[in-house]
């Protein structure tokens, strides 16, 4: 590194897991008052680098210096004592404790040797206030949504006055406003001289907040950039190790407007459930991709849950191919040929100790009944097909899924539902935490599935994605469906205006 006196510098860090070189002689440095974006495809080794920095994983070789002194943290506790504060990928808090406790656990304020709950609660309110968030800090963390939990995790990390802050994909479940808020806080901390490591797959965010960029690929350092003098394409090309021109053709937009002869698959009339979604109508044709747009908490996931029978509708009806059907449980939904790829993969998706193969064929086996076992050979074939199709990076299909990187776990979950060959597929944020290349693959997949005649309900916070893949888009705001657009009407700014202003 040319600049002298970095806060943190790591030299020739290596780490391997059985079958993978997660890190291969990686150098890394962080200066005072800089935001360094750490980028790379799924499985590139970003989270592993962070875990080595903070003592969660032991490195195989390499040295770490903090403020010029060599350090060797063996646990997150030691790292924290040294002044390294971290938000790990996936929310890592205690759902059974209150919001305030989650922010202060391990460093609660005390008075005369005993915990001062009053002070803790009021300090928690103050800490959240920095992120412009107002919660009842005495409620259990599990009472709040994933996005809010993520914000609480950030509030916890930011509140410690540390030397450096590490954020591993903190924004993957946040809304635009929440991200803004986070960035405001990051800029403030930066001005105070803190160094920040920021991992994300959102290019916009990288260019918005970071000063420098470090790119990893396949466990190796492939480049350090100054953000201001780097282009997106250059960055993507470095991440993927591909030629620039290959990237320039993304998936083609398919917005063929509602063909007059389209057969409808699902017809929804006045479906509603108190507290989650107001009555709405929705139609979905065969082979159509219907996007759901709206801010976080606007009711998108709620619609998915209603359609899949996880929540029961209180009024309204659903007909499938003209026949009124009562979808009262996910089991019924699956029997009707529905599939749902849920938003929260950690609690509703992966089964960590099972292999990738098992995680993929789980839903397929369940739909066949547990007595007609799928042969090991077929299982293997299915798993391998999807591993190649979605380019899940793993040495083999028998690796435990919890050992995959976050983004690759997400792909495996998508594969689980694709293996069912559903006629109606609900994808709730399928591209969260997935790298640019894989995102394109998933988008392409959505388009090709719809060409095969599968109807898809596509929920995503990334408008550009919704726009690119959907033939029609339904817009939600505050638990109300406020409109629909189709064909050429669909574009990002139109949707944003719609969300902001309601009617046009």
* Positions that interact with other proteins (CB under 8 A): 56, 75-77, 79-80, 86, 88, 92-97, 101, 105-106, 108, 110, 114-115, 132-136, 139-140, 142-145, 148, 156, 175, 177-178, 180-181, 184, 275-276, 295-298, 478
Residues that bind ligand ATP (CB under 6 A): 17, 20, 22, 40, 42-48, 89, 393, 403-408, 435
Q: Which residue number, 394 or 461, has a Cβ lying nearer to ligand ATP?
A: 394
Phi, psi of 283 (to 5 degrees): -125, 145
Could you say whether residue 406 binds Mg ion (CB under 5 A)? yes
Which partner in Mg ion, ligand ATP, other proteins, none is near 148 (CB below 5 to 8 A by kind)? other proteins
Could you say whether residue 89 binds Mg ion (CB under 5 A)? yes
Phi, psi of 288 (to 5 degrees): -110, 145
Which partner in Mg ion, other proteins, ligand ATP, none is near 353 (CB below 5 to 8 A by kind)? none
Task: Please answer whether residues 261 and 267 qualify as being in contact, where contact means their C-beta atoms are separated by less than 8 angstroms.
Answer: no
Q: Whole-number minimum distance, CB 217 to ligand ATP, in Å? A: 10
Q: Which residue number, 181 or 285, has a Cβ lying nearer to other proteins?
A: 181
Q: Which residue number, 286 or 400, has a Cβ lying nearer to ligand ATP?
A: 400
Listed residue (91, 85, 65, 88) closest to 10, CA to CA: 65
Q: Whole-number minimum distance, CB 143 to other proteins, in Å? A: 4
> Which positions from 91 to 130 touch Mg ion by CB under 5 A, shown as an x/- string?
----------------------------------------
Q: Which residue number, 227 or 408, has a Cβ lying nearer to ligand ATP?
A: 408
C-alpha 377 chain-centroid distance = 32
Could you say whether residue 408 binds Mg ion (CB under 5 A)? no
Which partner in other proteins, Mg ion, ligand ATP, none is near 264 (CB below 5 to 8 A by kind)? none
Q: Whole-number minimum distance, CB 125 to Mg ion, in Å? A: 31
Q: Which residues, 6+ apart, have CB-to-CB distance to 191 below 8 Å? A: 33
Q: Which residue number, 47 or 471, has a Cβ lying nearer to other proteins?
A: 47
Q: Which residue number, 45 or 422, has a Cβ lying nearer to ligand ATP?
A: 45
As given in the structure block, the two tokens for residue 114 are 């005993």
Listed residue (199, 195, 177, 175) closest to 186, CA to CA: 195
Could you say whether residue 43 binds Mg ion (CB under 5 A)? no
- Applying CB under 5 A, the site for Mg ion has a residue count of 4
Which partner in ligand ATP, Mg ion, other proteins, none is near 150 (CB below 5 to 8 A by kind)? none
Q: Whole-number minimum distance, CB 35 to Mg ion, in Å? A: 18
How far apart are the C-alpha atoms of 480 and 273, rounded to whole Å?
11
How far apart are the C-alpha atoms of 494 and 231, rounded to whole Å?
27
Point out which span in 43-51, 58-66, 338-346, 494-502 binds Mg ion (CB under 5 A): 43-51
How far apart are the C-alpha atoms of 420 and 414, rounded to whole Å?
11
Q: Which residue number, 431 or 470, has a Cβ lying nearer to ligand ATP?
A: 431
Q: Whole-number minimum distance, CB 462 to ligand ATP, in Å? A: 16
As given in the structure block, the two tokens for residue 422 are 């559903």
Listed residue (338, 290, 324) closest to 481, CA to CA: 290
Listed residue (341, 338, 333) closest to 429, CA to CA: 341
Task: Please answer whether residues 59 and 52 qualify as being in contact, where contact means their C-beta atoms are separated by less than 8 angstroms.
Answer: yes
As given in the structure block, the two tokens for residue 419 are 């293996």
Task: Please answer whether residues 55 and 78 qualify as being in contact, where contact means their C-beta atoms are separated by less than 8 angstroms.
Answer: yes
Q: Which residue number, 406 or 430, has a Cβ lying nearer to Mg ion?
A: 406
Q: Whole-number minimum distance, CB 211 to other proteins, in Å? A: 23
Strand pairing class (315-320; 289-293): unpaired
> What's the alpha-carbon Rg for the chain, to the nearest Å?
23
As given in the structure block, the two tokens for residue 132 are 């412009």
For Mg ion, the binding residue among 9, 28, 45, 47 (CB under 5 A) is 47
- Residue 426: how many CB atoms within 10 A of its CB? 26
Q: Which residue number, 37 or 495, has a Cβ lying nearer to Mg ion?
A: 37
How far apart are the C-alpha atoms of 394 and 11, rounded to whole Å?
26
Task: Please answer whether residues 93 and 144 qualify as being in contact, where contact means their C-beta atoms are separated by less than 8 angstroms.
Answer: no
Question: What residues make contact with Mg ion under the rule CB under 5 A?
Answer: 47, 89, 405-406
């Amino acid at each position: 590194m040319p600049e002298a006196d970095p806060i943190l510098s790591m030299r020739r860090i290596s780490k391997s897991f059985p079958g993978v070189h997660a890190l291969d002689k990686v150098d890394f440095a962080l200066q005072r008052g800089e935001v360094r974006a750490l980028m790379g495809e799924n499985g590139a080794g970003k989270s592993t680098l962070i875990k080595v920095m903070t003592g969660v994983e032991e490195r195989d070789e390499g040295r770490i210096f903090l403020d010029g002194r060599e350090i060797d943290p063996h646990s997150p506790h030691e790292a924290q004592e040294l002044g390294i504060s971290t938000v790990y990928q996936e929310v890592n808090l205690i759902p059974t404790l209150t919001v305030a406790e989650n922010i202060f656990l391990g460093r609660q304020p005390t008075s005369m040797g005993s915990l001062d709950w009053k002070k803790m609660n009021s300090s928690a309110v103050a800490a959240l206030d920095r992120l412009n968030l107002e919660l009842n800090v005495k409620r259990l963390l599990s009472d709040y949504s994933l996005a809010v939990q993520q914000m609480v995790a950030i509030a916890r990390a930011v509140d410690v006055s540390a030397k450096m802050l590490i954020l591993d994909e903190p924004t993957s479940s946040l809304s635009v406003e929440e991200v803004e808020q986070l960035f405001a806080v990051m800029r403030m901390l930066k001005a105070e001289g803190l160094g920040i490591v920021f991992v994300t797959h959102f290019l916009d965010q990288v260019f918005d907040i970071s000063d420098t960029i470090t790119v990893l690929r396949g466990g190796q350092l492939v480049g350090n950039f100054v953000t201001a003098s780097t282009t997106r394409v250059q960055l993507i090309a470095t991440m993927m190790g591909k030629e620039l021109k290959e990237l320039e053709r993304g998936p083609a937009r398919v917005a063929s407007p509602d063909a007059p002869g389209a057969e409808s698959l699902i017809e929804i009339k006045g479906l509603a459930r108190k507290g989650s979604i107001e009555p709405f109508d929705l139609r979905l044709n065969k082979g159509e991709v219907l996007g759901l747009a709206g801010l976080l908490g606007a009711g998108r996931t709620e619609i998915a849950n209603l359609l899949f029978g996880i929540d029961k509708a209180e009024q309204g009806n659903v007909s499938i191919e003209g026949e009124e059907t009562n979808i009262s449980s996910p089991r019924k939904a699956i029997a009707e040929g529905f599939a749902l790829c849920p938003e929260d993969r950690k609690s509703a998706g992966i089964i960590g100790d099972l292999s990738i193969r098992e995680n993929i064929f789980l839903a397929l086996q369940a739909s066949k009944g547990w007595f007609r076992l799928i042969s090991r050979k077929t299982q293997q074939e299915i798993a391998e097909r999807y591993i190649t199709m979605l380019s899940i990076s793993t040495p083999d299909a028998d690796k435990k899924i919890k050992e995959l990187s976050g983004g690759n776990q997400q792909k495996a979950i998508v594969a689980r539902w694709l293996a069912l060959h559903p006629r109606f597929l609900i994808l709730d944020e399928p591209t969260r935490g997935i790298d640019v290349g894989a995102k394109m693959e998933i988008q392409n997949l959505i388009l090709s599935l719809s060409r095969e005649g599968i109807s898809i309900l596509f929920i995503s916070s990334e408008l550009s994605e919704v726009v690119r893949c959907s033939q029609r888009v339904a817009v939600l705001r505050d638990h109300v469906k406020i409109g629909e657009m189709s064909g050429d009407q669909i574009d990002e700014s139109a949707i944003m205006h719609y969300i902001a202003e309601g009617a046009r």
